[in-house]
Amino acid sequence: MKREKFCILGLGIFGSTIATHLSQRGCDVIAVDMDGSCVERLADICEAVQADFTDLSQLQDLGIEDVDCAVVATGSHLEQSILGVLNLKELGVPYIIAKAKNRKYATVLTKLGVDRVIQPEKESGKRIAKLLSSSNLADIVELDPNTLLAELVAPASWIGKSIIELDLRNRYGVNIIGIKKGVEGRLSILLDATTVIEKGDNIVFIGTNEAVERLNNID
């Protein structure tokens, strides 16, 4: 399901980057921080609000229960992150992502039921924004400013068709690198033109930003 409405709790560099790029991609973003200067910095970019996200009532007043996804971006303060996650759980937010500064913090947040824990030294805010606002993309790696290595959940219209039938290079300008059987599956790179796409397959390919965007909008 494509997510369109987000809240970002904590507007340091990481949170601000995600909020900015999500907004640029046409998403509805509520950005929250207790620091007025951080809020002011994003005032012209998205709905930026000065509030204490560790206070459940303040999040309720902002209508956070209506978002599709929330990002707790204050990974340096574990207590704040925990309270933020618990409040989001209480509000019934369906998908929660949290930043963690180290493995210990990541373990705690995972035990709280966070759907995805991010360690910023491993993942960039821009990459996460692209993934969050994508309906079919399972992963993205930026090879250069215009070229992406991407993993795409096989659209329904591709199931049962062979690589040669799909003709992705000519139709979309991308090159298939391999196929994974599900998100956690092993990547198979021994493909030929008669390889048939099956339900649950993830297609790994290289293409331009524009090509990846077109593929992401299929189905």
What count of Cα atoms within 13 Å lies in the side-chain half-sphere of residue 75? 21
Residue 183: pLDDT band with limits 50, 70, 90: low
One domain for residues 123 and 141 = no
Fill in the DSSP letter of residue 157. Answer: G
One domain for residues 38 and 112 = yes
One domain for residues 23 and 122 = yes
Query: The domain containing residue 88 runs over which residues?
Result: 5-132
One domain for residues 86 and 159 = no
Chain segment 63-79, per-residue pLDDT in tens? 999 999 999 998 778 99
At which of 82, 112, 132 does a domain end?
132
At which of 84, 116, 132 does a domain end?
132
- The CATH number of the domain holding residue 148 is 3.30.70.1450
What count of Cα atoms within 13 Å lies in the side-chain half-sphere of residue 188? 13
- 104 by DSSP, 3-state: which? helix
Which of 214, 71, 69, 70 shows the shortest CA–CA distance to 152?
214
At which of 132, 147, 168 does a domain end?
132
Residue 123: pLDDT band with limits 50, 70, 90: low
One domain for residues 45 and 100 = yes
In 3-state terms the chain splits into helix, strand, coil percentages (rounded to 5) of 35, 25, 35
Chain segment 9-33, per-residue pLDDT in tens? 999 888 998 999 899 888 999 999 9
Give this prediction's pTM: 0.63
CB 96 within 8 A of CB 72: yes
One domain for residues 15 and 85 = yes
Residues in the chain: 219
Fill in the DSSP letter of residue 24. Answer: H
Q: Out of 14-23, 39-48, 96-105, 123-132, pick the least confident.
A: 123-132
Count of domains in the chain? 2
One domain for residues 89 and 28 = yes
One domain for residues 12 and 94 = yes
Residue 37 pLDDT > 70: yes
Q: Out of 33-47, 57-71, 188-202, pick the least confident.
A: 188-202
